[in-house]
Structure 1
Amino acid sequence: MKIQNVPFCTIEWDTIKPTTHPGVTGEAYWRTFEMGNIRVRMVEYTPGYFADHWCDRGHVLYVMEGELVTELEDGREFILKPGTSYQVADGIDPHRSHTEKGAKLFIVD
């Protein structure tokens, strides 16, 4: 990831209104900041959330709270707990996530 056209800035996450993104089950609430060529998000998944699509966008994802299961299209699954991250490039290893307990994430893409 090469960050371009982003001057130094801070984000007060509580001032960013969340948007709702329904899954097959449950919901995701995104607080999103976009500048230059990056998108930075605080995402909360409700308990029982299951993504409604396979994603092939690159991310750096960090689990702040809860537990997240990320499934790759090839069938592999990874359980991520607080303090765990994953990184994946654009167009590699399509993935989707779900959570039984709920999760709070920090994502840069």
Structure 2
Amino acid sequence: MSSNINFQTIDWSAIASSVHLGETGEAFWQTIQFPGLRIRIVEYSAGYLADHWCQKGHIVHCLEGEFVSELQSGEAFTLTKGMTYVVSDELSSHRSISKDGVKLLIIDGDFLK
């Protein structure tokens, strides 16, 4: 099976949204899945706190708003519009917190193992 992706555009307005409950608040995901690659627009509601510590690798780019990426080690990083973080699988347990809501572009996949 080829993992190559032919040129294509994504009209995010045509991609259905799914709801994922946090410990508090909600996350709304619009997801495109390719073999070994997932691309999402994710919006966290105001008051969002993830319900788990994530071990997966991601590239997370803040499109609008602000959020905190908290590491299980106790470190916390505030990301605002235009900022990005990158982490590989199994390297840093992390979770997201959003006081006022945020819109993110998240890319993850096999290349982050």
Name the TM-score class by shorter chain.
over 0.9
Per the alignment, residue 91 of structure 2 pairs with: 92
Structure with greater strand share of residues: 2
Matches within 5 A, 1:30-41: 30-41=29-40
Q: Give the match's secondary structure for 1:67.
A: strand
Query: CA–CA distance in 2 between the matches of 1:38 and 1:7?
Result: 13
Instruction: Give the percent of matched residue pairs that are identical in Structure 1 and Structure 2.
Output: 46
| AA partner of residue 85 (structure 1) | T
* TM-score, structure 1 as length reference: 0.94
Per the alignment, residue 26 of structure 1 pairs with: 25
Q: Does structure 1 residue 6 correspond to structure 2 residue 5?
A: yes
Per the alignment, residue 78 of structure 2 pairs with: 79
Unpaired stretches in structure 2, ≥5 consecutive residues: 109-113
Deviation at 1:5, TM superposition (A): 3.0
| AA partner of residue 92 (structure 2) | D
Aligned length, in residue pairs: 106
Unpaired stretches in structure 1, ≥5 consecutive residues: none
Deviation at 1:79, TM superposition (A): 0.3
* TM-score, structure 2 as length reference: 0.91
Alignment root-mean-square deviation, CA = 0.7
Deviation at 1:58, TM superposition (A): 0.5
Deviation at 1:36, TM superposition (A): 1.7
Structure 1 stretches of 4+ moved >6 Å:
none
Query: CA–CA distance in 2 between the matches of 1:57 and 1:12?
Result: 26
